[in-house]
């Protein structure tokens, strides 16, 4: 399978990174929403309108994307998918304010998955033009110019629970992706 | 048509930019090859091996990609393709040394084609995973994991003349892309 994985909210913990940065820089003016309290896909829509500029300042700041923590279990699952023989790519949309975001997405992947994995990155605003069997993405609905040939598997987040459909976490990915582990098990049994 | 355009060597004049930068910084040690003398796809392969590090220093330097001149006629042709109703995207592979290259490719597009065109960028090492009817690219042979569904139209450059197949420049693109101009002509005639 050609498996496309979104980066922020699936591999990189944008929510935790934002929460911590807001609490440090702005917590004295307005408390940070905990990741569990988030309801809108775009974090700016979950804070009062008068803080819009401050919200954007946080996620466009130098180092924000580079220093995001990895979502628990994600790196291990990605490596597991590769050992199962799947073709795994990162398919990510940059911010309109691309100057820090885009190169730091590359740095993040290099740091967490190694320099070879950087070659697996596809950076595009329109994910419907990318081939794949599956796209794992936390965005509730993914639109673009084409009818995509991938199946959208929703990566479970508090802000997408109003959407029906197949969903997964890095605890439940084996069932959601219907990954056949017999191949690697077969290999194991031959060597045991 | 969904038309994918490579960036360097098709829209941005990497060859002229490299020639000028080499002549300024290294011309006293080894004369720059003129763009017409280039024979290898990768510029480093056209310079003596002892200069490999200096070649890489030039195209990985801050500002190199950002300041590349536009290839003559390219910007006008891109805008014309849009007015004809085609869906035009930039499909570009970053250097392994991505730190300056990737954000500066975005800056280049913003500067030469405007901020909205930045949304049309697809940055990927593997262009075969991207949908399209046509890919205009100066690279002689484009490989990847899939059999692509686009047709490769070679953008004519001195270093790809050994390859057979459909080729174009920004003087000959109308014939090569078999673009039907009747649509815009029809619109014109209605308003005339």
What is the arithmetic mean of pLDDT over B24-43? 96
Dist CA A133 CA A148 (whole Å): 9
| Angle between helix B52-60 and B14-26 (nearest 10) | 120
* Predicted TM-score (pTM) of this structure: 0.93
pLDDT per residue as tens digits for the range A6-51: 999 999 999 999 999 999 999 999 999 999 999 999 999 999 999 9
Q: How confident is the model at residue A188 (pLDDT cuts 50, 70, 90)?
A: very low
% pLDDT > 90, chain A: 92
Does residue B111 sit at the A interface (CB-CB below 8 Å)?
no
Q: Is the pLDDT of residue A192 over 60?
A: no
Q: Is the pLDDT of residue B189 over 50?
A: no
What is the arithmetic mean of pLDDT over B21-36? 97
CB contact under 8 A, B124 and A126: no
Does residue B82 sit at the A interface (CB-CB below 8 Å)?
no
pLDDT higher at B191 or A41 = A41
Q: DSSP assignment, residue A149?
A: S
Q: Is the pLDDT of residue B183 over 60?
A: no
pLDDT per residue as tens digits for the range A94-114: 999 999 999 999 999 999 999
The radius of gyration computed from the CA coordinates of chain A, to the nearest angstrom, equals 17
Mean pLDDT score of chain A, rounded to an integer?
Answer: 94
CB contact under 8 A, A131 and B146: yes
Contact residues on chain A for B2, CB-CB shorter than 8 A: 129, 145-146
- In this complex, the residue of A102, A119, A129 whose CB is nearest that of residue B130 is A129
First to last CA, chain A: 27
Contact residues on chain B for A85, CB-CB shorter than 8 A: none
- In this complex, the residue of A96, A98, A131 whose CB is nearest that of residue B131 is A131
Chain B nearest CA to A30, separation (Å): 33
pLDDT per residue as tens digits for the range A132-179: 999 999 999 999 999 999 999 999 999 999 999 999 999 999 999 987
Dist CA B1 CA B184 (whole Å): 15
pLDDT per residue as tens digits for the range B13-24: 999 999 999 999
Contact residues on chain B for A146, CB-CB shorter than 8 A: 2, 131
Q: How much is the pLDDT for A136?
A: 98
CB contact under 8 A, B87 and A145: yes
Comparing alpha-carbon positions, the chain A residue that sits nearest to B100 is A103
CB contact under 8 A, A129 and B2: yes
- In this complex, the residue of A103, A120, A129 whose CB is nearest that of residue B122 is A129
Structure tokens belonging to residue A170: 């890095």
> Using an 8 Å Cβ cutoff, are B177 and B168 in contact?
yes
Q: DSSP assignment, residue B65?
A: T
Going B30 to B33 to B37 to B39, the CA torsion angle's sign is: positive
Q: Is B8 a catalytic residue?
A: yes
% pLDDT > 70, chain A: 93
Chain B nearest CA to A128, separation (Å): 9
Dist CA B10 CA A1 (whole Å): 33
Structure tokens belonging to residue B97: 């040394």
Dist CA B74 CA B70 (whole Å): 7
**What is the dihedral angle through the alpha carbons of A136, A1, B145, A118, rounded to the nearest 10 degrees?**
40
- In this complex, the residue of B98, B131, B146 whose CB is nearest that of residue A129 is B131
Tell me which residue has tokens 């690219």: B137
Q: How much is the pLDDT for B178?
A: 81
> Using an 8 Å Cβ cutoff, are B56 and B45 in contact?
no
Mutation site for B-interface testing, chosen from A66, A98, A150 by largest number of B Cβ within 10 Å? A98
Which residue of the set B6, B13, B137, B138 is catalytic? B6
């Amino acid at each position: 399978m050609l498996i496309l994985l979104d980066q922020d909210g699936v591999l990189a913990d944008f929510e935790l990174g934002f929460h911590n940065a807001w609490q440090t820089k702005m917590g004295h003016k307005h408390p940070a929403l905990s990741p569990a309290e988030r309801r809108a896909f775009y974090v700016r829509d979950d804070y009062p309108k008068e803080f819009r500029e401050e919200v954007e300042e946080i996620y466009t700041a130098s180092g924000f994307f580079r220093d995001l923590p990895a979502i628990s279990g994600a790196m291990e699952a990605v490596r597991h998918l590769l050992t199962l023989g799947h073709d795994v790519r990162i398919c990510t949309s940059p911010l309109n304010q691309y100057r820090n975001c885009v190169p730091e997405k590359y740095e993040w992947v290099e740091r967490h998955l190694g320099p070879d994995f950087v070659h697996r990155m596809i950076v595009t605003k329109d994910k419907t033009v990318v081939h794949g069997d599956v796209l794992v993405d936390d965005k509730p609905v993914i639109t673009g110019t084409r009818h995509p040939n991938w199946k959208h598997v929703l990566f479970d987040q508090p802000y997408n629970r109003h959407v029906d459909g197949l969903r997964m976490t890095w605890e439940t990915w084996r069932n959601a992706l219907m990954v056949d582990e017999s191949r690697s098990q077969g290999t194991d049994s031959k060597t045991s």
